A = this chain, B = another copy of it.
Amino acid sequence: MMMIRPRLQPIQSFFRPTPLTRSLFTSRPRPRSPPLTFLPNARPLTRTSIPNSSTRTTLTSNQIPRRRFHVRSIPSSAFAHKYPVTTICLRLVLSTVVGLSVLTAAILFHDAFTYSERHVDRVPANPLSLHPRTGGKKNLPILEVNLDSEQVEKQAMKDKPRLVIIGGGWGAVAVIQSLPAEAYNVTLISPSTYFAFTPLLPSACVGTVEARSLVEPLRKLIARVRGHFLLGAAVDLDMAERLVEVEVPKDQGDGTTRCYVPYDKLIIAIGSTSNDHGVKGLEHCFQLKTIPDAQAIRRRIMTNLELASLPTTTPEDRKRLLSFVVCGGGPTGVEFAAELVDMMAEDVLKYYPRVLESEVRVSVVQSRDHILNTYSEKISQYAEKRFARNEVDLITNARVSEVTADKVIVTIKDPNDKNAKPKTLEIDSGFTLWSTGIAMQPFTKRLVEMLPNQYHSKAVEVDSYLRVEGAPKGTVYAMGDAATVHTNLINDLMTLWDKYDKDKDGTINYDEWQEMAASIKKKYPLTGKHIGKMRDIFDQYDKDHDQKLSLNECAELLQNLSSKVTSYPATAQVAAQQGKYLGGMLTKLSKQYKVLRANDMPDLDDEMYYEPFSYRHLGSLAYIGNSAVFDYEGWSLAGGLLAMYAWRSIYWSEQTSMRTRMLLMLDWVKRGIFGRDLSKF
C-alpha cells in the first residue's frame, strides 16, 4: 500500500487541506497505518511510536501523518466523540452541500452545451405535402405525405403501413410508447398539443402541483417513433376508402378547414366528454378534464377569495362566493374537494381576512348512498369520516336537477322510504364543478351511428381484440373511455353451436360444453370470473337434467353470462393497458409482416397471431385531504400522511417522462417549503 502512495500524491495535493478544511474533513490526526506484513521492509510506525504531540512536530515531512481528502467527519475527534449525533448530522449536511454543489456544477456545465445558434438549412419540402391532392367522397385534400416527411422518413418508411391514432391521452400515448421506432408510419391527431397526466388535475386546480408539471408535448413523444403530429379533431370516417376526415384550425381565429388522413390501421383513443344527464344550466359549471379546465378553476377560486375579501361585498354575496359545490362523488369530485379544503386550511386562510374562514363551505353532491361508490365500503366510510372532520358537506342520494349562475338545485330522495316525496334543496354556489360520469365525444357518436352493430349508449363497442364491431376487420380499433368491450355472447351462439356440437346431435353435452367454455373464456376474458365452475353452470342451465344443453338452454346460458359481465371502468389504468396491448399487437404484427406476406396471409386477422385483451386491475386510489385510500381486489388501505406519500409514489412512477417526474417532485417539495402560490392568473 505504501508503495503506491506517490501515485496518489498529485490528487492529494490538489485537495491539500487547509487548517479549516482539515478540521472539516478529518476527524483527528490519523497515525500512519501499521505496516502490513507483506511489506516487511517498511519502517513500522505505530501509535505508540508517537507518544506525544511534541514528538510529532519533529517528524520529517515524509513522516507527517498524511491526511487524505475524506468526507469523514466534520469536527475534530474530541468533538465527534462528545457529540456523536451532532457529528453525524454535520457530516450529512456536509455531504448534502458537497453533493448539491457537484450536481449544480455538473448541470451548469451540461447547460453550457445546450445553447445553439440559429442556423438555417434550406430543406425543400415534398411538393405533395405543400399542395396535397384532393379526393375522397367530399373531395378534400388528402394528406398522403406529411410536411416533415423529408426530415423523418427514410425511403423505407414510405412503404410502412400507415398507423393513425386519434387522441392524445392515456391510450394513445401508451400505444406510441410501446411501438418500436420506424415500424409504422404513425400520425397522431389531437386537438391539444400535449399529453396531460389527468389523475393529478385536481391538485393542479389549487396549485399543489403546477399545470406545466403534468404535461408532455405529443411532438416529443411521437418523435421517438419518427411519427407525425396533426393538430385537429377527427369528425368523420370513410371506412371503405380508409380515410379519416379531420377538422383542422385555419388561421389564428376560430376558422377551420377539413382534410382527409389515409390509414391502414386506425386507433380511436379519443376519450370522453362529461355526461350532462339532461341537467339544465351546465354552462354555469366548470369541468375538470383538461389543463385549461384546471387553470380556469384555479383562477376562479382565487377570484372568489379576492371578491369575498372586499369590504364592498355584502355578507350574503360573500357567503355565496365562498360556497363551492362539487356535483359528483367519484374520485375526481372527491379529490378536488379534498385539495380545496387542504388549500383553504394550509395556505389561503393565513393571508386572507379571517372572517372568510367561517364562511368557506365545500359541498359534495352524490347521487348514491356513499361517495367513492366504486371503491370498497371501508374506503367509502373512511373518506366520509374524513370529510365530516374537515367540515365538507356531503349530500348523498341527491340528484342535481338544475344549475343556475349562483345556485345548484338538488333533489334528495329518502333512501329508507322509496315512496316519500323527494325534497328539493337550493345550494347557493359561487363555484360549481360538474364531474358526474362520461358521455361520447361527437366523433364516437358519429361512428356509432354509422355502424350496424352498435347498441351501447356511452361508448363504441369493440370485441376482445379492441376491434370496432362492424368495422372492417383489423383496420379500426378503439379503446379507453371511447370504447367498451363487447360481451354480447348471444351473437356468437350459432358459430359456437356449429363449432362445438361435434357429434352433430343437436345438443351440447358436458365435454362439448367444456371446450366451448374454454373458447368463450379465451375470446372474452371479461367472462373468466363468471365461468369458473363449469359443472355448476352446466347443471344450472340443463333444466331437464338430460346431461345435454339444447339450443334454447345454451342461448339462455350465454345471455345470462353476458348480462353478468360488467365492462371495464372508464379509467386511465384501463386506457393505458389497452394502449400497451394494441402497441404490443402492432409490434408483433410488424415483425411478422414479412412472414405473413410470404405466406400470402392477410395482416388483418389479429386472432391469428395475438391473444385477446385482458385487463389486470392494479387497484384504485384516491386522495382525501392529507390522506389517501387504496383499493385492490378486496384488500384496502386508508391512512394518513404515509398513505398520501404512497399515493404520490404511485402517480410519480406512472409519469410518461423523467421531466414531469422531476417537475412533480419539485412541486411537492415547493409546496412543503413555501406553500401554494396564491397569485391569480
Interface residues of A (CB under 8 A from B): 1, 4, 7-8, 11, 31, 33-34, 36-37, 46-48, 51, 69-73, 77, 80-82, 84-85, 88, 91-93, 95-100, 102-104, 107-108, 110-112, 114-125, 129-130, 132, 141, 143, 145-148, 150-151, 192-194, 210-212, 215-217, 219-220, 223, 229-232, 248-252, 257, 259, 291-292, 295, 300, 302-304, 306-307, 309-313, 315, 317, 321, 341-342, 344-346, 350-355, 357-358, 389-391, 430, 625-626, 641, 644-645, 658-659, 662-663, 666, 668-675, 677-681
Contacts and interface: CB of A to CB of B under 8 A. Distances in A.
B4 A358 contact: no
Given A99-B96, A151-B354, A679 B311 contact: no
5 contacts: A8-B81, A147-B310, A193-B678, A217-B678, A231-B309
A84 B31 contact: no
Contact of A194 (B84, B100, B681): B681
Nearest to A69: B88
A437 B673 CA distance: 39
B315 A8 contact: no
B96 A100 contact: yes
What 4 A-B pairs have minimum CB-CB distances, sorted nearest first? A99-B99, A111-B672, A148-B353, A194-B679
B193 A129 contact: no
Contact of A311 (B259, B625, B626): B259
Contacts of A193: 302, 306, 678-680
Contact of A125 (B71, B84, B292, B355): B355
Given A46-B46, A118-B344, A351 B312 contact: no
B48 A34 contact: yes
A143 B310 CA distance: 10
Nearest to A659: B674
Contacts of A354: 121, 123, 125, 148, 150-151
A115 B351 contact: no
A671 B114 contact: yes
B355 A107 contact: no
Contacts of A121: 354, 357-358
Given A150-B354, A231-B306, A354-B148, A110 B33 contact: no
B346 A146 contact: no
Contacts of A88: 11, 69
B669 A659 contact: no
A387 B299 CA distance: 38
A4 to B, nearest CB: 4
B212 A679 contact: yes
A680 B671 CA distance: 25
A680 B252 CA distance: 14
B51 A252 contact: no
Nearest to A430: B252
Contacts of A223: 350-351
A219 B358 contact: no
B85 A118 contact: no
B346 A114 contact: yes
A304 B252 contact: yes
Given A98-B96, A390-B117, A672-B110, A143 B311 contact: yes
Nearest to A91: B71
Given A147-B353, A251-B317, A668-B111, A117 B626 contact: yes
Given A7-B81, A96-B102, A670-B663, A390 B118 contact: yes
Given A115-B346, A151-B353, A666-B666, A310 B248 contact: yes
Nearest to A679: B194
Contact of A99 (B70, B97, B215, B350): B97
Contacts of A71: 70-72, 91, 95
Contacts of A303: 249, 252
Contacts of A346: 114-116
Nearest to A123: B354
Contacts of A678: 193, 217, 219-220
Contacts of A77: 1
A2 B257 CA distance: 85
B219 A352 contact: yes
Contacts of A112: 641
A263 B614 CA distance: 71
A105 B513 CA distance: 59
A310 B187 CA distance: 12
Given A47-B34, A210-B210, A84 B7 contact: yes
A259 B314 CA distance: 13
A36 B219 CA distance: 68
Contacts of A300: 252
Given A81-B1, A670-B659, A118 B355 contact: no
Given A132-B311, A346-B114, A95 B84 contact: no
A340 to B, nearest CB: 10
A133 B633 CA distance: 63
A107 B150 contact: no
A291 to B, nearest CB: 5
